[in-house]
């Protein structure tokens, strides 16, 4: 099974050249940045552990990826949510449906205060030090690619939720890592960085306006469709649409500076199934 070494592809979008690290192609079940963040748990053995516990939303990419990991490792998986919408219970789709197929035990309610020694607890979204292990592997792949192609003036862009991936990429790379805050504002993201590291943070590119995570925006749908049309790559609607809006804006301020731009595609495409249904319903009339 291949869980590392994703390809890097050259694309042209709106007459600008970019490279894209295709972590969405890592593996059909276990891909994107969650495969990187949970790589430590995949390749190490935890003889005492029988069960993994975490919490978050009922459509989370981390939830799905952990359900796959637990299946591969033969572990039980308890996932705590505040609430599951009744339409989702009645019509399971996307991450929720596939995580259930992989054996997730979903629990509505409060997460326990403590766990026995056979249980491994992982923070929401995999914002844990252990994530640095797999993200270093990603950083090393980028470094060798840059060396092989004699690229020195590289700038890397990727969207942040918890910011864990961007933070550890910056830690292990000699290039500038840029990101934007998709969940919460810039201050929230900086606080997230400070939870895990003292300094050497990625550059946070400001957003044009305030966006609420999970809400539908016409410009998100438009750039998603335009990216698909021009590059033949499907990007995620929750994070990538906002990131490309920010990234393009940023790149337009860096003209004539001879930078090479690399975007990290972090997967998340199962989540697009339900998002596309919502977008079509709202905007394709």
Ligand X SMILES: *Cc1c(COP(=O)(O)O)cnc(C)c1O
What φ, ψ does residue 199 adopt, rounded to 5°? -150, -165
> Do residues 132 and 11 touch, judged by C-beta distance below 8 A?
no
Q: Does 94 bind ligand X (CB under 6 A)?
A: no
78 near ligand X (CB under 6 A): no
Give the span between the Cα atoms of 185 and 187, in whole angstroms. 6
Q: Which of 18, 30, 77, 239 binds ligand X (CB under 6 A)?
A: 239
Cβ proximity of 22 and 46 under 8 Å = no
CA neighbor of 54 nearest in space, from 32, 24, 26, 76: 76
Q: Choose between 24 and 78: whose C-beta lies nearer to ligand X.
A: 24
Compute the least distance from the CB of residue 161 to ligand X, in Å: 3
- In the complex, the smallest distance separating the C-beta of residue 149 from ligand X, rounded to whole angstroms, is 25
CA–CA separation, 279 and 257 (whole Å): 37
Complex with ligand X: residue 50 or 207, whichever CB lies closer: 207
CB 37 within 8 A of CB 64: no
Site membership for ligand X, residue 266 (CB under 6 A): yes
Q: In the window 150-189, what residues touch ligand X (CB under 6 A)?
A: 159-166
Q: Does 31 bind ligand X (CB under 6 A)?
A: no
As measured in angstroms, the least distance from the Cβ of 49 to ligand X is 23
Query: What's the min distance (Å) between Cβ of 179 and ligand X?
Result: 8
Residue whose beta carbon is closest to ligand X: 268
Q: Tell me if residue 265 falls in helix, strand or coil.
A: strand
In the complex with ligand X, the residue whose CB is nearer, 34 or 155, is 34
* Least distance to ligand X, CB of residue 48, Å: 27
Residue 202 binds ligand X, judged by CB under 6 A: no
For residue 11, what are the CA distances in angstroms to 51, 230, 265? 42, 9, 13
Q: Which two tokens stand for residue 218?
A: 């016409």
Nearer to ligand X, 49 or 196 (CB): 196
| 154 vs 180, beta carbon nearer ligand X | 180
Question: Are the C-beta atoms of residues 134 and 43 closer than 8 Å to each other?
Answer: no
User: Is the Cβ–Cβ distance between 162 and 126 less than 8 Å?
Assistant: yes
Q: Interacting stretch for ligand X, rule CB under 6 A, among 32-40, 97-105, 196-204, 222-230? A: 32-40
Q: In whole angstroms, what is the distance from residue 177 CA to residue 168 CA?
A: 10
Which residues sit at the interface with ligand X, rule CB under 6 A?
32-34, 61-62, 125, 159-166, 236, 239, 266-268
């Amino acid at each position: 099974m291949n869980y590392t070494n994703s390809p890097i592809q050259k694309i042209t979008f709106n007459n600008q050249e970019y490279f894209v690290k295709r972590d969405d192609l890592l593996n059909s079940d276990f891909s994107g940045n969650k495969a990187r963040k949970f790589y430590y748990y995949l390749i190490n053995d935890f003889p005492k552990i029988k069960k993994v516990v975490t919490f978050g939303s009922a459509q989370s990419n981390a939830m799905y990826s952990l359900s796959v990991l637990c299946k591969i490792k033969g572990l039980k998986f308890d996932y705590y949510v505040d609430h599951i919408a009744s339409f989702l219970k009645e019509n399971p789709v996307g991450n929720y449906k596939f995580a259930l197929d992989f054996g997730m035990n979903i629990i509505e309610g409060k997460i326990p205060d403590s766990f026995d020694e056979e249980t491994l607890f992982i923070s929401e979204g995999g914002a844990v030090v252990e994530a640095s292990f797999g993200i270093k592997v990603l950083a090393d792949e980028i470094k060798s690619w840059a060396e092989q192609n004699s690229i020195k003036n590289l700038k890397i862009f990727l969207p942040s939720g918890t910011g864990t991936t961007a933070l550890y990429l910056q830690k292990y790379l000699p290039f500038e890592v840029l990101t934007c805050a998709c969940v919460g504002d810039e201050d929230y993201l900086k606080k997230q960085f400070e939870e895990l590291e003292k300094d050497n943070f990625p550059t946070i590119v400001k957003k044009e306006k305030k966006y609420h995570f999970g809400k539908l925006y016409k410009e998100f749908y438009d750039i998603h469709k335009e990216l698909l049309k021009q590059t033949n790559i499907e990007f995620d609607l929750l994070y990538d649409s906002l990131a490309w809006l920010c990234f393009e804006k940023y790149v337009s301020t860096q003209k004539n500076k001879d930078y090479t731009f690399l975007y990290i595609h972090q997967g998340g495409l199962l989540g697009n199934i339900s998002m596309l249904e919502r977008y079509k319903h709202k905007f394709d009339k």
